[in-house]
Amino acid sequence: MTFPDRFLWGTATAAHQVEGNNIASDYWVLENMPGTFFAEPSGDACDQYRLYRQDIAQLGELGLTSYRFSIEWARVEPEDGRFSRAAIAHYRDVLQTCHEFGITPMVTFHHFTSPRWLMKLGGWEYEGTPERFAAYVSAVMSELGPLVPYACTINEANIAPLIRSLMPKPDEAESSHAPVGIGEGMADALGPGLKAGADALGTTPDKMNLFMFTTSDTGVAVVKRAHTEARRVIKELSPSTQVGITLALSDFQPRPGAEEIADRMWAELLDDFLPAMDGDDFLGVQTYTRAVVTEDGIQPHPQGAELTQMGYEFYPEALEGVLRRAARAGLPMIVTENGVATADDSRRTEFIRRTVEGLERCLADGVDVRGYYYWSALDNYEWMLGYRPTFGLIAVDRDTQRREVKDSARYLGAIARGNGLR
């Protein structure tokens, strides 16, 4: 089948994972601490802060029509209330380069990393974080609004509830002394680097409250309000910009007797966010695999299943299941992330093929999907796992920063050129 006109065929990255030397951010401090829970520091990453033009040109040459990237809050506002005009000018150049090469940009305003100064205030449990986030978004949109057709306020706003669902329950946790914001059992999981990082950031572990690990109800409420405040200023400054939030969603597949457990997971990870999404233009769906749910909770991958470098099941059909369930939110959907970490690029091509077949079935049944972004454009820095997992359509030589286009990139580009499978 042919996909709808103006369907967005793209790929995605995050600033900290590709730009390099994001020294004003909280994660930069943590990944460079002795005893850190990061496998390695990000360093120069993919040096995209310098090489963005060649990367965007390459996406256009492949035939892709859109690029989702993040603007780094820590670069734009390295100190509380002090905005860098040079950083804003840089991101203006990135946006203009996208338009020059016929690439529709989609901007994400927060992709896991925050300015280090925010941690001193209480991070993502601080009641003033939504207003400070909105001030940063306002500073960017007042300068760049006409260049931003699509905006995601917060990447995977539900990541903390997702992590909480996978952590031991309080009565099962080996440690009961974890900071409230970090969550029961999380402090031990993060190791001694957590305390060292807090010291370097000029705060204490109980106040640091990193975005990804602030699993408390207070933290989740702060994230939701940050989204609504950001959406408000975006719409005030650029009414034509389409605004949404992205959520991490697995294809929860309940075994007999576990239907109510799966429903509770959907409620916590999607339904509870619906009030905050009232007024959004789209929902960003981010899916990588399925989750088999039994009466004992989420189970490991089925025995004998093919696994990715991330350790979870190779299951391209997950996206179709998620889109059909998430459609109940009543918003148009854009697949803002979907991909596979593998050293075998032929498996990446197979993953894309089967995923797009699922998209076809969804569209044929009237599911409102308006775009697909593969994660990721480049083999980049995968947070705590460092550079070992390779999700990218384009390989990056860590020593020379030389790019090498993979066959899977050409395959997705051909789909984009033809606006569907052939």
Dist. CA 298–CA 277, nearest whole Å: 27
Q: Is the peptide bond before 138 cis (omega within 30 degrees of 0)?
A: no
Dist. CA 41–CA 189, nearest whole Å: 18
Q: Are 353 and 374 in contact (CB under 8 A)?
A: no
Q: Is the peptide bond before 376 cis (omega within 30 degrees of 0)?
A: yes
Strands 242-248 and 104-110: unpaired
Cα 182 to the center of its chain, rounded Å = 20
**Angstrom distances, CA of residue 39 to CA of 30, 181, 219:** 11, 23, 26
Token pair belonging to 180: 């409230």
Q: Is 242 helix (H, G, I), strand (E, B) or coil?
A: strand
Catalytic residue among 77, 156, 184, 313: 156
Q: What are phi and psi of 247, to 5 degrees?
A: -125, 140
Sign of CA dihedral 253, 339, 3, 108: positive
Active site residue 156: yes
Rounded to whole angstroms, the maximal C-alpha distance in the chain is: 57
Dist. CA 404–CA 60, nearest whole Å: 15
Dist. CA 304–CA 53, nearest whole Å: 43
- Other Cβ atoms less than 10 A from the Cβ of 21: the count is 16
Among candidates 57, 26, 135, which has minimal Cα distance to 383? 26
Residues designated as active site: 156
